[in-house]
Structure 1
Amino acid sequence: MRLASYNVENLFDRAKAMNLADWDEGKPILEKFAALNALLGELTYTAEMKRKMVVLLNDLGLKKSDTGPFVILRRNRGKLLTRPTDGSEIRIIAEGRADWVGSLELRAAPVDETAMLLTAQVMIDLQADILAVVEAESRPALLAFNREIIPARNGKPFEHVMVIDGNDERGIDVGLMTASAFPIETIRSHVDDKDADGALIFSRDCPEFAIPLKDGRTLHVLVNHLKSKGYGSQNSSDARRREQAARVKAIYQQRIKEGETLIAIVGDFNDTPDSQPLAPLLKDTDLRDIFTHAKFDNGGYPGTWGSCTANNKIDYILLSPALWETVKQGGVYRKGMWPGVRPAKWETYAELKKPVNAGSDHAAVWVELDV
């Protein structure tokens, strides 16, 4: 049985701010979007909050209209603000979240067509029986991709496709696709797990998928996408990622206590194996990273993202001791990634002519298990 994990970076549409070629340009947009969203969600708006809202609305291109270049403000009912006709500053007239109904949303843009097709080609060429998918827009999007785009590349669609909407408003969820011989029996979501202060722990979710095997045992696959370093301060991002890793550790140890032995924790953890935020999961459990297995081939590069240096090793397949003993082989699939130039670092598909054509900035990681 082949298990793989792949960050597809959205399938059909992606937030325009995340589609920008220069991440340094998109990052502040996402930060301001998050800050304004947080302020709009407050029960009571103070004068200082209103002042900050106006600044953020202007910065996001919403001074004259509810539709900006990267963000849309939807006002369904009630009154949030007024825009004076004389061109003066926006005024926030709502006194709190209960005074208006609506939302702040990121505008989406289509993914490059070649990139979409190469994402499908990676999925096909992995020949995975079980494929964890990171950054899928939704289950309908992943289902449509499976039914329409994979066959368009002469691939066989997966039989089972599951995504649970998570906590990220940008439409980047995690899910699982499996072949007919590996049906998903049960799913357990952790989308509502909270910390001691009542804040949601997971940026997306940490769904547990239970897959019955022919010998009567059950394979448990936990798919994750931990807090990125993309926006927010490093200290807050690191602290959030560490808390998420600690929660995943607790879930894993609970399943082991319950007698489960075949457990894989996979996905994009957004940090390196030696990092402190991942220590609860990588150093304080008996889980082992497939990259360290003697039968694993990293393809000549230690990383999984971007230039694939050691500092870019952020995608994982972690295996419980019982699964570790069943490993036959494993590797990294980079053919859909931009290889750099002078010289190209790795072989790519012929259609990959420029960075925007890449199926993803991430490599896919796979392992063959004798189960």
Structure 2
Amino acid sequence: MRLASFNVENLFSRARALNQETWAEGRPVLDAFARFGALIAKPVYSAADRATLVALLGELGLARSDDAAFVRLRRNRGEFLVRRRSGPVEIVAAGRAAWNGWLELEREPVDDTAMRLTARVIRDLDADVIGIVEAESRPALKAFSETILPREQAAPYRHVMLIDGNDSRGIDCALMTRAAHPILTMRSHVDLADAAGPVFSRDCPVFQLEAPGGGLVVLVNHFKSKGFGTPAASDARRRRQAEAVAGIYRRLRAEGAERIAVLGDLNDTPPGAAADPLHPLLAGTDLRDISTLPGHDDQGRPGTYGGSTAANKIDYILLSPALRQRAGASGIFRMGQWPGVRPRKWEVYPEIDPAQGGAAAHAASDHAALWVELDL
């Protein structure tokens, strides 16, 4: 069977702040969005909190209206703020219990060509089991499988599973499998918390699958990004996530599971020191990345994101010892990833080939896909 992992960066619609040409364009909005969400959750708003909320409303374009280019303020019940014809916005709610509402990101359709190329990547991967990162919802993923994959001459997946995680942007972890590998159980970890609070930015769903010779367990992950927040805070969150996944893996092994794969977008490079965020998972367990196995083909570029340099190695398929014994060829699939212009770094589909007038906006994803053959 072939196991794969692919960060599809949404299928049908995507938060507008995430859908800009560069990450830097949307980063201030996402940063303000996260800070606003954390502040409105406080049980009591201090004078400083109110001042910060007013400032964030201005940064988000919400000083005069509940609707802005990138975000929308939902106010269902209670009074949160007062806008006057002249003068600043005033936060009048005493705290979270005084009103019901939230801030949400505005969404827009994904480029149609990008959607079709995402389907083409999945078609050409031809995986029996594929972990999906950044899917909007199960209905969206199922619709993509049943309507878009056939347009690219690919068979829909028989089993599609996704449960919403902790990220309000609709970028969740999912799994699609062929009929021969039904999903027997799924265990979510959205509520897992430690002394610092919730652990997972999205979730770490654990899927138990039917497979020849004893089944297969797959953990799909999407760790905290480096996109917003301080580097120290982001590193600390990813390390907590790596420690948690390592703990889940050890528990599964203790329960008798042997054939386990951990895959997805871990948003960091392989650890070089014990203090590095991914060390507890990549060095602190007997899991090993497919890139370290004989027969792995990275086409001379170890990275999986952007320019695919070593500094962009952030996507992984990690295998337990029992799976490594059954691993054959593996590799990185970049046909749907923008190759750059000077020079074009790898072969791509015509729609994104700069030599044929292709555009970066049509790329299936900024991420390459990963795959490994398993003799089960």
Would the TM-score normalized by the shorter structure come out above 0.5? yes
Q: What's the TM-score once normalised by structure 1's chain length?
A: 0.98
CA shift for structure 1 position 112 = 0.8
Q: How does 1:199-214 map to 2 (within 5 A)?
A: 199-214=197-212
Q: Contact 1:295–1:327 at 8 Å: present in 2 too?
A: no
CA shift for structure 1 position 124 = 0.7
The residue identity in structure 2 corresponding to 1:359 is A
CA shift for structure 1 position 41 = 1.1
Residue 128 (structure 2) pairs with residue 123 (structure 1)? no
The residue identity in structure 1 corresponding to 2:222 is H
Q: Contact 1:60–1:70 at 8 Å: present in 2 too?
A: yes
Residue 307 (structure 2) pairs with residue 307 (structure 1)? yes
The residue identity in structure 2 corresponding to 1:84 is R
Distance 2:251 2:40 in 1: 38
Residue 142 (structure 2) pairs with residue 137 (structure 1)? no
Large movers: runs of 4+ above 6 Å: none
Q: What's the TM-score once normalised by structure 2's chain length?
A: 0.97
Q: Deviations over 1:77-136 (max 9, x none)?
A: 110001002x21001111011111111100011111110100010011100000000000
CA shift for structure 1 position 158 = 0.3
Name the structure 2 match of 1:113. 112
Q: Considering only aligned residues, what root-mean-square deviation do their CA atoms show, in Å?
A: 0.8
Name the structure 2 match of 1:254. 251
Distance 1:23 1:221 in 2: 30
CA shift for structure 1 position 320 = 0.2
CA shift for structure 1 position 343 = 2.1
Distance 1:66 1:341 in 2: 41
Residue 369 (structure 2) pairs with residue 364 (structure 1)? yes
Residue 345 (structure 2) pairs with residue 348 (structure 1)? no
Q: How many residues align?
A: 368
Distance 2:209 2:61 in 1: 47
Name the structure 2 match of 1:149. 148
CA shift for structure 1 position 300 = 1.9
Matched position secondary structure for 1:222:
strand
Name the structure 2 match of 1:169. 168
Matched position secondary structure for 1:351:
helix
CA shift for structure 1 position 22 = 2.5
The residue identity in structure 1 corresponding to 2:73 is L
CA shift for structure 1 position 313 = 0.4
Name the structure 1 match of 2:232. 235
Q: How does 1:30-109 map to 2 (within 5 A)?
A: 30-85=30-85, 87-109=86-108
Distance 1:295 1:343 in 2: 27
Matched position secondary structure for 1:185:
strand
Structure 2: which 5+ runs fail to align?
Answer: 353-357
Matched position secondary structure for 2:101:
strand
Q: How does 1:241-280 map to 2 (within 5 A)?
A: 241-274=238-271, 276-280=276-280
Distance 1:253 1:35 in 2: 35
Matched position secondary structure for 2:167:
coil
Name the structure 2 match of 1:178. 177
Q: Contact 1:66–1:72 at 8 Å: present in 2 too?
A: yes
Distance 1:222 1:46 in 2: 41
Structure 1: which 5+ runs fail to align?
Answer: none
Matched position secondary structure for 2:294:
coil
The residue identity in structure 2 corresponding to 1:325 is Q
